[in-house]
Amino acid sequence: MISENIKKIRERMEEACRRCGRNINDVKLLGVTKTHTVETMEEALRAGIEYIGENKIQDAVKKIPELKEPYKEFHFIGHLQSNKINKLMTLRPHLIHSLDKISTARKLNNYCEAKGIKQNILVEINTSGEETKNGILPKDAEEFIGALLENNNLKIKGLMTIGTRTEDKEEIRRCFRQLREIFEDINEKFGLEMDVLSMGMTGDFEIAIEEGSDLVRIGSAIFGKRNV
Ligand SMILES: *Cc1c(COP(=O)(O)O)cnc(C)c1O
């Protein structure tokens, strides 16, 4: 039951917040609906999910316009390909979590400039160092964000990472702690006011909250196994 699952997740989020003296209202729950049907998404929205995330533009453009239940925000969490920017932008994403290429950022910026809009974005950082993962390496984060700042129609809201796939809780914690440190360094270095740390998924969201996550992205713990 989706509503039961959501209730359990919120309880676990609350417990994690309690352990580290944080307020549950400061941590957003993004329901990751990738591979799930419009009906399932509507069920989650009725059960109190307000923010929804998809990782494939071709799926999102099919499903999001079909939703009959209201949602507060749509987030794009997948890898952004520059040839799909126009399609994605028709969905008016509240936040794009996954910018990691300057050429794509420039194209997105040009699109926004032409439309007279600003787009909230996060920069994806590869804190695990796994080669299969997208994202900017930690050592390159400062230079990348320095270059991004020239794109006046992009609003840099924060950073995102995907934790290492491992049973080793301390290694996962290290990834999240590193993201938080990069976040603080960059805010200071560039005088930015980034306020979103997007980290934590089904397997590791409690550690992420303890390390300062503002936004957890939860799929399987709400919707069960994905339909691939
Ligand atoms: C699929 C996905 C999630 C959700 O993963 P679960 O482990 O099912 O919670 C979160 N973030 C990103 C970027 C994803 O692609």
- pLDDT tens digits, one per residue of 6-19: 999 999 999 999 99
Backbone phi and psi for residue 206, each to the nearest 5 degrees, phi listed first: -70, -40
Alpha-carbon dihedral angle through residues 60, 78, 36, 61, given to the nearest 10 degrees: 0
Quote the ligand 1 centre to 208 CA distance (angstroms): 13
Ligand 1 center–CA 114 separation, angstroms? 32
Ligand 1, atom 12: nearest CA belongs to which residue?
77
Q: Which atom of ligand 1 is nearest to the CA of 32?
A: 4
pLDDT band at 226 (very low <50, low <70, confident <90, very high): confident
d(CA 205, CA 18) in angstroms, rounded, equals 14
Summarize the confidence of residues 122-140 as an average pLDDT: 94
Q: End-to-end distance of the chain based on CA atoms, in angstroms?
A: 20
Write b or e for each residue in 188-219: b if 16 or more Cβ atoms lie within 10 A of its Cβ, otherwise e: eeeeeebebbbbbbeebbbbbbbbbbbbbbbb
Taking 90 as the threshold, does the pLDDT of residue 228 lie above it?
no
- How far apart are the C-alpha atoms of 69 and 73, rounded to whole Å? 12
In this prediction, residue 227 has a pLDDT band, given cuts at 50, 70 and 90, of: low
DSSP-based three-state secondary structure for 145:
helix
Q: Could you tell me what percent of the chain has a pLDDT over 90?
A: 95
Smallest CA separation from ligand 1 atom 13, residue: 77
Does residue 191 come out as left (phi exceeding 0), alpha (psi in the -120 to 50 range) or beta?
A: left
Mean pLDDT for the chain? 97
Q: Cβ(215)–Cβ(198) under 8 Å?
A: yes
Taking every pair of Cα atoms in the chain, the longest distance, rounded to a whole number of angstroms, is 47
The model's pTM: 0.97
- The CA distance from 86 to 91, in Å, is 9
Confidence category of residue 225, pLDDT binned at 50, 70, 90: confident
Whether pLDDT at 82 is above 70: yes
Find out whether the beta carbon of 216 lies less than 6 Å from any atom of ligand 1: no
Determine the distance separating the centroid of ligand 1 and the alpha carbon of 171, expressed in angstroms: 18
Q: With bands split at pLDDT 50, 70 and 90, how would you rate the model's confidence at 189?
A: very high
Rounded Cα gap, residues 100 and 122, in angstroms: 9
Flag whether pLDDT at 102 surpasses 70: yes
- Tell me which residue of 17, 10, 50, 47 sits closest to 31, measured CA to CA: 50
- The reply to whether ligand 1 has any atom less than 6 angstroms from the CB of 201 is yes
Length of the chain: 228
Task: Give the pLDDT mean for 20-25.
Answer: 96
Say whether pLDDT at 131 is over 90: no
Over residues 116-128, mean pLDDT: 97
If you average pLDDT over residues 204-212, what whole number do you get? 98
Query: Considering only CA atoms, which residue is closest to atom 11 of ligand 1?
Result: 217
Atom number in ligand 1 closest to CA 98: 13
Query: Do the beta carbons of residue 73 and residue 29 sit within 8 Å?
Result: no
